[in-house]
Amino acid sequence: MELHVVINGRKDLAGQLYQQLRAAIETGRLAAGTQLPPSRLLAEQLGISRKTISDTYSQLTYENFLTGVTGKGTYVNARPAKIQRKQSHSELASSEVIESWRNLPVFLRHPTLQGSLRYDFIGGATSKGQFPQDDWRRCTSHALRQIAGSKGFYSLPEGLPALRNAIARHIAFSRGVNCQDEDVVVCNGAQQALDLIGRVLIRPGSLVAMEDPGYPPARLLFGSHGATVVGVPVDAEGIQVDLIPHGTRLIYVTPSHQFPLGMPMSQARRVALLARAHELGAIIIEDDYDSEFRYEGRPTDSLQSMDERGIVAYVGTFSKTLLPELRLGYTILPPAILEAVIRAKQLTDLHTSTLPQWALAKFIAEGCLLKHIRRCHTIYAGRRERILARIAGDLAPWLEAVPTTAGFHMVVLCKVPIDIPLVIELAKKVEVGLYAIDSFYYQQAPRAGLFFGFGAIETLDIDTAMDRLRDILQQVS
């Protein structure tokens, strides 16, 4: 009798086999003591190499799911009984705090491989196929050599000097940011940079002003530090500066590519924002998350480059230009808060892992990052144009695009009443991932529309996905 295992396609064969065998053992379908087929027989059954079978058996044996008996074969191990920990969080003295964290909404979480859709317009994700694997592998080998030659001590909380230098040079060249190596703090993604700045500036009850609509993870993060977050409406020029309330000590903005609507902040509004922050004694966080990709018009200055008083903390990330899994970001800090943030970083996690730091420093210094950005720019520009053409074409009766010149997402607004949740649900059934924009609004009345990320969807898939969206809109109209 053959073991029931189903292999789809030719990708990640070992991963498919591992997941199915482990699931079968954990659910009890393969009971303790069951003998598995010899690797040779299972390889013949599944049409894959014997080495793949042997490697999977070895991994499961290492994890104590299987056991090998010399001369007899491979058997399923008995699983230890799960310990039932009966105490509820409500019985703890900190139950109120725990409950507040449990009740936080989940925003912008990426799906697992098993849960992803065929045509997904998810934001913040990039095409894995564009990543320069060979260049990165070579830079990682360099990083391993650097670590092998080190003394094995903990590293600097602010980051490796080589990477801080590479970042300072890169953003001075690409974004006109005015900084020196010592102004740079390397973080585990932009989210940690926001957390560190919040830690040193926010106390319970502190006022934090944010664009509304805006970036929900930042709002929730500042709120977790005890801040009172105020949503400030935006217009075609960006955040409405005159509505930032008195007493505000931190202002979070996305001036180069407003999140999520996409318009850049005007020059006049930037000048007004800097003046207002100085008047309040507030620090501005400039989240410049994806402005490397610009398609129209002249590049705009970063807000930080206009700052003459040392009140702008510039935050950037490599998640959008390289891979989200890297979890590497940085912040360029004004002198007033630099030392405090470095102390907070050391207290929080000592330092960011040095292996990817060494690799990224080499990657930037050799010009690989700029080359990769140029290559992706061409690809994203094509995807953007295709989506805009469809929105202005056969989807025009229902939708209109918000003008945007940068990044790799756009927002489209509804021109007629549309049941957006229903459209999203129907789209899932035909393997199209769509996302509403209403969750990005905080205190302002939400507008009906959709968020189109085009970093992860393949160019040739866009028309197919748009055809299915058009059919759905015709159906629900």
DSSP string for 127-153: -GGGS-HHHHHHHHHHHHHHHHTS---
Q: What's residue 266's pLDDT?
A: 94
- The DSSP H or E segment spanning 385 is helix 368-392
CATH 1.10.10.10 applies to domain 13-76? yes
Tokens of 243: 């509505």
Cβ within 8 Å of residue 99, ≥6 positions away:
89, 90
457 in Cβ contact with 121 (< 8 Å): yes
Top-level class of domain 119-129+371-476: alpha beta
Cβ within 8 Å of residue 136, ≥6 positions away:
359, 363, 368
Where, residue-wise, is CATH 3.90.1150.10 in the chain?
119-129+371-476
Q: Which of 174, 199, 173, 232 is nearest to 333 (CA)?
A: 199
CATH topology of domain 131-367: Aspartate Aminotransferase; domain 2 (3.40.640)
Q: What's residue 148's pLDDT?
A: 93
Q: How many CA atoms lie within 13 A of 261 on its CB side?
A: 24
Over residues 28-42, the pLDDT tens digits come to 888 888 988 998 888
Where, residue-wise, is CATH 1.10.10.10 in the chain?
13-76
Cβ within 8 Å of residue 195, ≥6 positions away:
221, 348
Q: What's residue 86's pLDDT?
A: 67
| Bridge-based pairing state of the strands 409-414 and 449-453 | antiparallel
> Around Cβ 34, how many Cβ atoms within 10 Å?
15
Q: What's residue 312's pLDDT?
A: 98
Q: Which of 307, 343, 316 is nearest to 168 (CA)?
A: 316
Q: What's residue 398's pLDDT?
A: 97
38 in Cβ contact with 72 (< 8 Å): no
What distances in angstroms separate CA 180 from CA 53, 197, 205, 318, 464, one per listed residue? 53, 19, 34, 19, 47
Which residues in 454-468 are b (16+ Cβ under 10 Å) and which e? bbbbeeebbebbbbb
418 in Cβ contact with 433 (< 8 Å): no
Residue 71 Rama label (left phi>0; alpha psi -120 to 50; beta): left
Where, residue-wise, is CATH 3.40.640.10 in the chain?
131-367
Positions of the chain with pLDDT lower than 70, given as ranges: 1-2, 81-87, 108, 112-115, 297-299
Q: What's residue 84's pLDDT?
A: 64
